[in-house]
Structure 1
Amino acid sequence: MECVFGLVGNGFAIVAADTSAVHSILLHKNKEDKIMTLDSHKLVAASGEPGDRVQFTEYVQKNVSLYQFRNGIPLSTAAAANFTRGELATALRKEFCATFQGYSDFCVLMNPYSVNILMAGYDKEAGASLYYIDYIATLHKVDKGAFGYGSYFSLSTMDRHYRSDMSVEEAIELVDKCILEIRSRLVIAPPNFVIKIVDKDGAREYGWRISTADA
């Protein structure tokens, strides 16, 4: 029941994600931060298989840092999103060859990264932006986006209330509406959410929305 969503406002981008670490019917923890800071002005919120989510986002983070170390300048948000999309596309097209029921050199196409990403960033020239990247390497620049079961409700809520000129306070109010809708509508809804923001002052945590049961 993962829920990851985000939006772009007037000079900033916000991403929110549930904090539940779940396997089958078991809840392992409810304070798992699924939003990683790529660099000073970029955030990546991810959903998907826990191992793929952690491994792939760390891989992207280290490569973004390596590029800046080698070249002395950071990647733009668009460039980081295209790099991420390229790595997913490469992985998607790798062949896995093995002996299968007596047949040698049996090859199947496999995608080792079952992960969906919302990448938010702020660039001095381009301003705030949000990129939608799914597990089959689809890349789109969007004003708002979501992944997981919560997307059914967060997208409809954002479609109703979203404006491109929203202030931070208005955007947070909309995020809270999305969280309330998810908690109200999903049969098994994640109780806690983390919200992070990126703007000209950098990427930072805005706050947590913790259910009264876990407070």
Structure 2
Amino acid sequence: MAGMRSPPPPPPPPPLWLRPLTSSGVLSGGACRASVDIAGAAATRLSGGHSTHTREHTLYPHVTGTSVIALKYKDGVIMACDTGASYGSNLQYKSVERIKVVGKHSLIGASGEFSDFQEVLRCLDELTFFDHMCDDGNSLGPKEIHSYLTSVMYSRRSKFDPLWNSLVIGGVKKGPNGEEKYLGTVNLIGTHYEENHIATGFGNQLTVPILRAEWHDNMTFEEAVRLVEKCLLVLLYRDRSFINKFQIAKITAEGATIYQPYSLKTHWGFSAFENPSKHSIKESMRLLFL
């Protein structure tokens, strides 16, 4: 009718990190939503008209990575992990990269569900993209990345749809007191802290005592590598999911470097490995009461 105003245009879609997830773990909207709807329609046809397509949250990890080791040294932060990803107790992938560069000043490493880590990386890509678009002469540092991920992990936990990861964030950025090294972690329920050395997963029980005993603030890069490799060997011997293919990364004021994967020389001739029952708790108790 004459005189009527046209309806306002629809609002733009929300940023990536604010969009809800579908049951399959992909972002809602557009082609992702269409693929879910098509899958549901196909399931309805196959079941004779009764829909078998249910929407569920991912409440248990499937393809997972193991521990991440990280520590500060004199010039920056070093981070290391293996390149395996397991489906349950079976090794499914042998060349997975679980350490990535974020922006100009940060590294991130992840234990846990690998698909959730990919979702975290997508959120960080968009976050750093919008930060770059601001063009204000500043960029997000590791402390800001850690704070953002803490909010994301706690938000998802509060919705009973957590991202099944333990994340390690390290980096170097110029601050009021010069180049400042930063190392922090956050887990799937939003628990977070900063530390001079961090280990996730099984490494939190097995390697943190080694790090506490041997780490010092003035370590050279070569000393840091030797300490990290010692921790990796302990995990290789004790964690069945760990594989002998490791990747080390470092970040300094000059930038980040992720080195090619390599293996370590191992020794399996320890008496506890050759005769496990001899060193068991049951055998020790038997000898104690003889």
Interval containing the TM-score (normalised by the shorter chain): 0.7 to 0.9
Structure 1 unaligned spans of 5+ = 95-109
Provide, for residues 182-203 of structure 1, a one-character-per-residue CA deviation record: whole Å limited to 9, x for no partner. Answer: 1222344322111100001101
| Contact preservation (8 Å) 1:2, 1:190 | no
Q: Is the 8 A contact 1:88 1:113 kept in 2?
A: yes
1:102-145: CA deviation from partner (whole Å, max 9, x where unpaired): xxxxxxxx133111100011101252110111111122111011
Out of 129, 133, 138, which is 1:69 matched to?
Answer: 133
- In the TM superposition, residue 86 of structure 1 has moved relative to its aligned partner by 0.9
What do the CA deviations read for 1:11-68 (whole angstroms, capped 9, x no partner)?
A: 2001111210110132222110001111122100011112111111331232123222
Q: Residue 99 of structure 2 contacts residue 109 of structure 2 at CA under 8 Å; is this kept in 1?
A: yes
Pick one of 99, 102, 114 that aligns with 1:35.
Answer: 99
- Aligned with residue 200 of structure 1, among 250, 253, 261: 253
Determine the C-alpha separation between the residues in 2 that align with 1:123 and 1:211. 32
Q: Which runs of 5+ in 2 are unaligned?
A: 1-64, 267-290
* Whole-angstrom CA distance in 2 between matches of 1:80 and 1:63: 9
Which has the larger Rg?
2
Quote the Cα distance in structure 1 between the aligned partners of 2:125 and 2:111: 16
Instruction: Give the alignment of 1:78-117 within 5 angstroms.
Output: 78-94=143-159, 110-117=160-167
TM-score by length of 1: 0.85
Instruction: Check 1:91–1:186 CA distance in 2 against 1; reply closer, same or farther (3 A cut).
Output: closer
Q: Hey, what does 2:263 align to over in structure 1?
A: 210
> Higher strand share goes to which structure?
1
Q: Which residue does 1:132 correspond to in 2?
A: 185
Q: What is the aligned length? A: 198
Q: In proportion to residue count, which structure has more helix?
A: 2
The normalised TM-score by structure 2 is: 0.64
Q: 2: CA distance between counterparts of 1:196 and 1:37?
A: 9
Percent identity between matched residues is 21
Which has the higher relative contact order, 1 or 2, with Cα contacts under 8 A spaced 6 or more apart?
1
